[in-house]
Amino acid sequence: MTMTEHSEHRQQSLTTATEARGLEALISRAARAGKGAAPVERWNPDFCGDLDMEIKADGTWFYLGTPIGRMPLVQLFSSVLRKDADGRTYLVTPVERVGIRVADAPFIAVEMDVSGSGDGQIITFRTNVGDVVEAGPERPLRFVDETETGGLKPYVLVRGRLEALVARPVMYELVGHGEEIEIDGKTMFAVRSKGAVFAIMPADQLKRLSA
């Protein structure tokens, strides 16, 4: 094979990532990553273009504008997700990296459990794709004010730079475990998990909102 033929062959293999049949090949390569989350942080494949795939704000996955209805397939793709320092999210296999769109967070925390109390309290979340995450120093919670709606959006780190948006019913349950805690000399409404304290908002702000 000449250098030109090799280059053309390589280009053809990359562009198939954006075609329907390229999805089947991507599935087969992702499947070889094994069960659970793949070690995508250790892989450094070439960027192969963008795939017409999007994770909507409600956690629904779309491919070519159509929802992916097969949960095992969604779980498979979620196991090879990676968010890089450039802020973009990719599907990563040992041989390729393709970009996808994410409207908000790639995962949704749909259930939570609280065990223990005080410094020993542990808040555990389950995501829509089956991840189980204990909030704590290595898996922090963060809270974002929605200034346009006056609402609150909590996120929990799942792995790497990938977060789960806490679903609204779960958010209300989470806030129900909040307490006033002094942080850096300021009284905050916060939650505890695995010895870490996560500030939700200043206590006086909560009182104003509750008035």
Q: What is the CATH number of the domain that holds 93?
A: 3.10.540.10
54 shares its domain with 126: no
Query: What's the CA gap between 149 and 143, in Å, rounded?
Result: 14
Provide the CB-side half-sphere exposure for 205 (13 A, CA). Answer: 13
Cα 40 to its chain centre, rounded Å, is 14
pLDDT of 211 > 90? The answer is no
pLDDT of 100 > 60? The answer is yes
With b for 16 or more beta-carbon neighbours within 10 A and e for fewer, the 101-119 pattern comes to ebeebbbbbbebebeeeee
Q: Which of 141, 111, 145, 142 is nearest to 129 (CA)?
A: 111
116 shares its domain with 45: no
Sign of the C-alpha dihedral computed for residues 43, 47, 53 and 58 taken in this order: positive
**What is the model's pLDDT at position 8?**
39
pLDDT, one tens digit per residue, over 10-33 is: 333 333 434 445 556 655 655 544
Angle between helices 20-31 and 71-78 (to 10 degrees): 70
Q: What angle do CA 184, 186, 191 make, to 5 degrees?
A: 85
Tokens of 174: 């989470």
Give one DSSP letter per residue of 69-137, joined into a string: --HHHHHHHHTTEEE-TTS-EEEEETTEEEEEEESS-SEEEEEEEEES-GGG-EEEEEETTS-EEE-SS
**What is the model's pLDDT at position 72?**
87
Q: Which of 87, 166, 90, 91 is nearest to 133 (CA)?
A: 166
**Residue scoring higher pLDDT (120 or 9):** 120
**What is the model's pLDDT at position 28?**
62
158 shares its domain with 93: no
**What is the model's pLDDT at position 204?**
86
- Give the end of a domain, one of 102, 119, 147: 102
Total tally of structural domains belonging to the chain: 2
**What is the model's pLDDT at position 156?**
98
186 in Cβ contact with 114 (< 8 Å) = no
Adjacent-strand bridge partners of 135: none
**What is the model's pLDDT at position 205?**
82
196 shares its domain with 177: yes
19 shares its domain with 111: no
- Give the end of a domain, one of 79, 102, 125: 102
Element (H, E) at 26: helix 20-31
| Domain around 29 | 3-102
- Give the end of a domain, one of 67, 85, 102: 102
58 shares its domain with 140: no
